[in-house]
Amino acid sequence: MPMQVIEFFDRGVLINPDGIAFVRPDGTEALTYAEADDITHRVAAALHRDGMGQGTPVAVLSANAPHLFPIVLGVLRAGCAWVALNARARPQDLIGLLRLVGARALLHSDELAEVADRIRGEVETLGRAVPIDRPEGWLAPPGTRVPLPPLDPEAVAGYFGTGGTTGRPKAVEVPNRAFETMIHAFNAHLPEHDPVHLVAAPMTHAAGTLVFPVLAAGGRNIVHDGVAPGEILESIERNAVTRLFLPPTAIYALLDHPDATRRDLSSLRYFLYGAAPMSVTKLEEAMEVFGPVMAQFYGQTELPMMCTFLGPGEHAAALAEPRLRGRLASCGRPTLVANVAIVDDENAPVPTGERGEIVVRSSLRMKGYHRAADQTAGVRLPGDWLATGDVGHLDADGYLYIVDRKRDLIISGGFNVFPSEVEQVILGHPAVRDCAVIGLPDDKWGERVTAVVELKAGANADQAELIAACKDRLGGVKAPKEVIFRELPRSPVGKVLKRELRDAYWRGRERKV
């Protein structure tokens, strides 16, 4: 029998009612499972009173905070669809998403009251705005109980914006069925009796989604408001954190912090990374600093997170055995809930080891792109496969290697250059904090391979040595013709905005390739 997202939280309440569900790193603002449960029912009852029920889009806008999570759970208990808003996103992007899904209510923090007022003035469907830091006048009375919503695996549990950094923005419809599959996959591949989960990245992304499998186990969530390396390292030691997720760029910042080698990090069992490729050189450094705890997942908003998994044991084996070292560049093997394949441009399977588009067949898949039947049809393939837009290959042992996004491919002098290959080499340089490789306009080559490099504070590197390192490893065709040293533009969650970089240098030209 399928389950809804809220029922996994209810399991946590059942098995650990007096345990802490959400708390600040310093121990303040703690909410037990029983206290959080009461809030979820009061939120759900208030939404029902205001005429919102099954399928109604309800948006939540707040930075990470312990009381934020029960608000979201209350939206789900009401049978409404959670519209996930990133507190660091631009107001115009939030407005676009809310208009697209027709959001009816906005639950927001006091800190973002001005943004909420602007949104309410520009989103015609919004009939209710509630400050969640002072919700007592809106919440139903304490002790109110609300029955579970009708069981519908295909009902939309959440709308998530995607595509803003790479093309036309879309709203991904994630149904109960996909959340349920993801929760089972996490708990199968990351077995843990009493997890202590550190949440630092915005709850609207992977870090927040990881809360759901922890709740099902009755675990504790240590809620940070943002990624501050020193605070995270201190919190791991203070709270005996057993798991956390960070994107690679945030892990690089932790590795650069002096406390990385001073704090007691021995409680960690799973240090999860994903959302972008990680430098193998920096991954090896992370394994040395944090121990045999690194774990990678691969997924997308359209396929929540657990398509493949590379566990701590596989990381350790690859590091210890030279013939397996190459697996550190992979993102693991298909999980228990996903079938992964590689196809060519005609959607035919390619031989083992050959590159093509990564496709996935799984109940992790989204329901579709909201009000965008053409875009949904464009990624659905015969046989219920979903096209990811990622280029990769599978080895003979079933490990998946992601080469790049199809749209990021550089064609220079008629040769295909995948930026991630070049980035891996440059990220291996000890002075480099991060980099992005893009194609820039060139009258001779069409596109010239260009590395945009952000150096560590106080570090130095020159163009010639970086280009020489790439030529030595990759050959002259793939090596950058130019290196630009500058700060990289980033999204609110820290992802490098390659499209913004490209657009800045291609501006004024009719051709974009």
Tell me, what CATH number does 476's domain have?
3.30.300.30
Take residue 510 and report the two structure tokens written for it. 């009719």
Residue 57 shares a structural domain with residue 76:
yes
Same domain? 365 vs 427: no
Same domain, 401 and 478: no
Identify whether residues 419 and 471 lie together within a single domain: yes
Rounded mean pLDDT, 420-432: 92
Tally of domains in the chain: 3
Residue 435, pLDDT above cutoff 80? yes
Residue 490 lies in a domain: yes
Residue 513 pLDDT class (50, 70, 90 cuts): very low
| pLDDT reported for residue 504 | 82
**Residues 477 and 372 reside in one and the same domain:** no
Residues 94, 85 contacting (CB under 8 angstroms)? yes
Name the H helices within 190-335: 206-209, 211-216, 229-239, 248-256, 280-290, 312-320
Least confident of 66-70, 161-165, 438-442: 161-165
- With a cut of 90, say whether residue 475 has pLDDT above it: no
Q: Do 356 and 502 have their domain in common?
A: no
pLDDT at 201: 87
Same domain, 380 and 417: no
9 and 151 housed in the same domain: yes
* DSSP string across 360-380: EESTTS-SEETT-HHHHHHHE
Residue 391 near residue 355 (C-beta atoms within 8 A):
yes
Half-sphere exposure of 39 (CA within 13 A, CB side): 22
Looking up residue 45, the CATH number of its domain turns out to be 3.40.50.12780
Q: In this structure, what token pair is assigned to residue 171?
A: 């709203």
- Domain final position from 146, 177, 208: 177
Q: Cα 347 from chain centroid?
A: 27
Task: Indicate if the alpha-carbon torsion angle 356, 361, 366, 369 is positive or negative.
Answer: positive
Specify the range with the lowest mean pLDDT, choosing from 53-67, 226-240, 480-494: 480-494
Q: Quote the tokens at residue 238.
A: 């203070």
Q: Is residue 201 part of a domain?
A: no
Distance CA 299, CA 331 (A): 10
State whether 443 and 379 are in the same domain.
no
Which is more confident, 377 or 205?
377
Q: What stretches of 18-171 show up as alpha helix (H) in DSSP?
A: 33-49, 68-77, 91-101, 113-122
d(CA 115, CA 118): 5
Q: What confidence tens digit (pLDDT) does each residue in 309-337 have?
A: 999 999 999 999 999 999 999 999 999 99
**Average pLDDT for 485-491:** 89
Q: Is residue 94 part of a domain?
A: yes
Per-residue model confidence (pLDDT) at position 495: 78
Q: Mean pLDDT score of the chain, rounded to an integer?
A: 92
- Domain boundary residue among 375, 405, 435? 405
DSSP-assigned states of every residue in 160-206: EEE-TTTSS-EEEEEEHHHHHHHHHHHHHHS--SS-EEEE-S-TTSH
Q: Is 69 left (phi over 0), alpha (psi -120 to 50) or beta?
A: alpha
> Could you tell me the pTM of the whole model?
0.84
CATH number, domain containing residue 374: 2.30.38.10
Residues 53 and 173 in one domain: yes
What range does the domain containing 439 cover?
Answer: 410-506
Residue 414 has a pLDDT of 64
User: Does residue 511 carry a pLDDT above 50?
Assistant: no
**Is residue 257 one of the residues assigned to a domain?**
no
Question: What angle (nearest 5°) sits at the alpha carbon of residue 215, between those of residues 212 and 218?
Answer: 160
Whether 86 maps to a domain, the answer reads yes
Is 512's pLDDT higher than 60? no
Residues 158-207 have pLDDT tens digits of 999 985 434 456 899 999 999 999 999 999 999 999 999 999 988 887 77
